[in-house]
Amino acid sequence: MPDPVDAPGLSDLPLEDLVACHECDLLMRKPQLAHGDKAVCLRCGYELYAHRHNVVERSLALVIAALLLYVPANFLPIMQLNLLGQSSQDTVWTGVVGLFDTGMQGVAVVVFLCSMGIPLLKLLCQLLVLLSVRFDIGRSYGLLLYRIYHHLRDWGMLEVYLMGVLVAMVKLADLASITVGLGLVCFVSLLLVQVWLEVVMSPHQIWEALSGEDLHAGD
């Protein structure tokens, strides 16, 4: 657990030895963590960062899994709707095209960016950052891509799109026969993999690795 910065002598420490809480702004001494340890704020209990084992390898596996799920999640049918003898299969992509063709181009662009474009760009940024760390090449570009990734984090809204699909399915359940498609399974799997990736890919360790510090320090 870190020490508060107002303790004797801490105010004279260099900035790289200090860490600030993202929630309450308390400035503390940065602790050295072993694998599996977590640093929490003394004031509010917020998790500052954690030191996880095999961060790059585990994160790479999850990024590759997410990229493999991306195409079927967006282009395979999410559901099949049977209404009055007519059947239709809907995918994320056909939803975007349908919005565009009905004159709602602005909404179509927003849906495309939040459900397809930005999530893919985030995954590609993560992949390139992890490859930069893993093979120790182009770390300056890795730093740039990781900054871009953090700016994009709030714009990828797969969970919002999923909630919209589930609400639509519930409302249509009494009017038509609905069959869940493989695309929905892949879409949910993609969302879960990305959440898991957010947990595994420790930002503190990635920033340190991109800055040239030893990723395995503290073993």
Q: What is the pLDDT of residues 106-154, one digit of tens each?
A: 888 988 888 889 899 999 999 999 999 888 888 888 889 999 998 887 7
Q: Which of 14-28, 52-66, 115-129, 131-145 has the lowest mean pLDDT?
A: 14-28
Torsion of CA 46, 47, 48, 49, to 10 degrees: -170
Q: For the residues 140-169, what does the mean pLDDT come to?
A: 78
| 181 has pLDDT over 70 | yes
pLDDT in the model for residue 14: 63
Instruction: Please give the share of the chain, as a percent, with pLDDT higher than 70.
Output: 74
Cβ density class 121-142: b for 16+ within 10 Å, e for less: bbbebbbbbbebbeeeeebeeb
Is pLDDT larger for residue 83 or for residue 26? 26
| 52 has pLDDT over 90 | no
> 38: which 2 tokens?
């977590």
What residues are paired with 69 via a beta bridge? none
| 8 has pLDDT over 90 | no
pLDDT in the model for residue 120: 93
With contact defined as beta carbons under 8 Å apart, do 79 and 90 qualify?
A: yes
With contact defined as beta carbons under 8 Å apart, do 32 and 51 qualify?
A: no
pLDDT in the model for residue 168: 67
pLDDT in the model for residue 13: 61
pLDDT in the model for residue 219: 40
Question: Rounded distance, CA 111 to CA 93, Å?
Answer: 10
| 10 has pLDDT over 80 | no
| 163 has pLDDT over 50 | yes
Q: What's the whole-model pTM score?
A: 0.75
Is pLDDT larger for residue 197 or for residue 155? 197
